[in-house]
Structure 1
Amino acid sequence: MSTTVELPALGESVTEGTITRWLVEVGETVSVDQPIVEVSTDKVDTEVPSPVAGVIEEILVEEDEDIEVGAPLVVIGDGSGSASKEEADQAPAKEAPVAEEAPAEEKKEEAPAASAGSSEGTEVTLPALGESVTEGTITRWLKEIGEEVAVDEPLVEVSTDKVDTEVPSPVAGTLLEIRIQEDEDAEVGQVLAVIGSASAASAPAEKAPEAPAAEEKKEEAPAAPAEEEKKEEAPAADSAPASENTGEAYVTPLVRKLAKQEGVDLSTVKGTGVGGRIRKQDVQAAADAKKSAAPAVEAKPAAEAPAANAAPAQKAAAPAVEKSSKRGTTEKAPRIRQVVAKRMVESLAISAQLTTVQEIDLTRLMALRNKAKDGFAAREGAKLTVLPFFVKAVTEALQQFPQFNSSMSEDFKEITYHGSENVGLAVDTPRGLMVPVIKDAGDLNISGIAKKIGDVAGRARDGQVSPEELSGSTFTISSTGQTGGVFFTPIINQPNVAILGIGSTNKRPAIVQDADGNDVIAVRSLAYFSLTYDHRVVDGADAGRFLNFLKTRLEEAAFDAELGL
């Protein structure tokens, strides 16, 4: 009997996705929850796990094709429907055990350390390791197959992007099976190991004479590169190619994505993981080495031409102009670029957009931030930038001027004033522009806002933010950040009615009053705040009052109490 797997719901507002890469082939055996395909949406990139165990009989959607939620992806069965695969001779051997005990036998084939009693044990899953942690890397198993473990005894060490921790055993018994090998990634909720009773493990223990035969089978099948490559360190010449091939097979989608973002060629990276597997750290090290090597190349022309004063300056300037490899090429627009394009055009067609600009003196705020940032970081464990102050001032303005925190119905007959301030933050990521949302921002203080910004913005750049965190905004803030730009006119993020654009902060001469009330020229830190609003809901006078509120609040910079000063 065959099962048709459909594209599952990937978030509240996600209706379709693009197949970026199939992780399996027709004729390949898969287990329950094994990732089978990578899907890219306008929110995030994700993997779709198999809901059943069996053999891939038919792939219904090719790579780079779009598919709607609920549409069929692939057919998984007992293998009888995939008669066209080249490995037909091996099919009967795989089909026989599948027909009798499909789930149990497939798990045994995939896990080289599985025992006969594993089906009677308790599955140990990767627990939740923090609010924003979705996966971890197995760094070291503290127990071996057949070893006794007690309740709450540390079982395995796991490394995440936040902390390194130990996972305790939820039950007492014997470690029957290890599902995730060292240096492999596991998602929260994924099965790590199986623990059962000592009697369940006694059966394989009594068959000790057959152990060598099992060891030989492991050597023949490349399913356990971690242990066998350690044992065969002597024949270095033969093991090197095998290690490279195995390492390539074990490159995870996350590592491959990071390599693509950093422009690192995986074939040039030497893996330091088990069996030569390429880890995130290896890719990051290669990226850092590539960046650090760039200045040396740029400095070389100046050192080689000391003859004339003008010539070195001209030669030194040439390497600064990097020619993109995309020049003169045509490519399919990434899905996120397509979605941004579609929504920006729709936004301009839906609402009547107008922009008002206000110059704000941030001199006092910058001084306050510089005074408090070190103590804040030590106390709160978060970086204090000027953005939390902007968000705080905006939420206060939204509470006083609710028309900017509203939305209009399609027939123009109703305006909904939202009961909370959910502030979206436009973030520049390697994949393109993303807008993670800080929910209930109006209920947070400076510290809470700063932590939320660091969390969601960081995970947005790393591709770890969930679809739910990218929807539900009631107002949006966009900033030029370090890219420069005096001011800009942002486009409203529908169904919001307004968006605030914050230009770069620059020191310029300005006329201010001294202590005696005299006009003097002084150097001030100034920035332009541009408010784009929907003229169907908001009038120009409202926009002026909103920006004047921000101007007064930020120029006074009365945030000392919240910073503990």
Structure 2
Amino acid sequence: MANIKDIFIPDLGADKDVDLIDIMVKVGDIVEVEDGLITLETEKASMDVPTPYKGKVVEILVKVGDKVNSGDLIVKVESTEESINEVPSSSNENEKEPIASPKDDESKITSPTQFVKEQTIKSVLEEVRVPDLGADKDVDLIDVMIHVGDIIVKDYSIITLETEKASMDVPAPFGGEVIEIFVEKGQKINGGDLIAKVIKTVVIEDKVPTPLAKIVEDEKIVEKASCPIPTIQEVAARSIEQEESNVLSKKATKVYASPSVRRVSREFGVDLGFVKGSAKKGRITVEDIKAYVKEQLNKPASATGVGFGFNLPEIKEIDFSQFGKVKRVELSRVQKVSGPFLHKNYLASPHVTQFDECDITELEKFRKEQNEIAKDFKLSPLVFIIKAVEKALKIHPKFNSSLSADGQELIMKEYFNIGVAVDTPNGLLVPVIKDVDKKGFKDIAIELSELSKKARDGKLTNADMSGGCFTISSLGGIGGTYFTPIINSPEVAILGVSKSSIKPIYDGSDFKPRLILPLSLSYDHKVIDGADGARFTTTLSQILSDLRLLSM
């Protein structure tokens, strides 16, 4: 007979007021034993709370964002089965006489029996350390590929080291959940240094007598339900060879992913409901998201939602060595990541570039005068351009927006975070100066210098490069006149700045030498019209020509 079962938060130990970050079921769902109901997040890790009953969800008493504690009621389930934690009565008055085993006459077991291994699963906290590096000392750590809360499998690459001779990935010696990380990108490490602490599961086997009928039944269940966890190498191989799609044809109703994985999915704009998870119980890893994005980018243009009515032709492999001597140089990590991102942005946004120029003769005079008296900072032309862009964004707010995912709304931003493209040995990086409207020339100059140094040293964090509203790409220190910068999605415009030069400008009676700065504004034509683009560069030109307009 069906009955209502209450499901409570399990013992959380010393943790109190734990964040509830996800509810994986809704009223009316049919759940199986061990199916996840909710996801909790503590300071160290995330965990799913499973159901101990099979049945139908009839009531949910919590919501995302709640603070919960041990023993709180979360869900009511209409169940027809007993909890897996409850032991059913084994009394049977009509039990048959025991069948003696020919090899064990003294056996008193009441049914055909065989000694089998019973598995007990326990969680163990283990340390992951840097392996023996031989003679190498103070090796550079150039990449950390795990986050707190990630579920990793054995041989998953967790960090990348770089010596004078080569770079190498350090694999995980076992699988589990990462709860603490002790290293960061850019530091020097040696053999034996602590990398992370991981909770891994171990199986303890004990020999216990089990009825043969039960063994046969269990073997059938295992044979039907067993699903080995693929290694990261296997997942990567399937992605590269496209033997198995990483995209689900139908959106999943339940998503199993850690908070760090969900954060990565938001950064990539990926709907986790369509990502195929490779870890235990279909849990999604960062590698699954990467494989999903790679597969989507490799699809023909018409299949990616870009909107073209034709398929892009495949790039044919050419043996260039038939024409002369060649050598292969691997792309940097930044180029491997940014290349597909720029390609997607270029295809997804109809780019239009407005060219203009402005007279910065007076600005340059003022800049040099201030640098002569400045002691702890240096004013570059870019500092004034950043401040002028912030003023122009206030006058033309459409440029400080993003298009909604469904393309039906503009998200107007009331903050002013300006990204600045920085040329580094590893490729182009875009740190973001936050709250430009609240900072003066000196503050911007100091922050710009610090972020540029971090970029060149390879020490920028995700926080340093996120939250931008508008991007400036300056080639003034290199040269050139005009170019077409690619929009840094989800922004809707980007400003290209080239090298200034002296030009003769007619003032109505005579030609006078003036310092002229070329501007190149690329914008998304889905959001911004040509007239708006021209108005923006005209406003920007006026401000840079007369800095007094910044105060108006």
Q: TM-score range by the shorter chain?
A: 0.3 to 0.5
Higher strand share: 2
Higher helix share: 1
Larger radius of gyration: 2
TM-score in terms of structure 1 length? 0.44
TM-score in terms of structure 2 length? 0.45
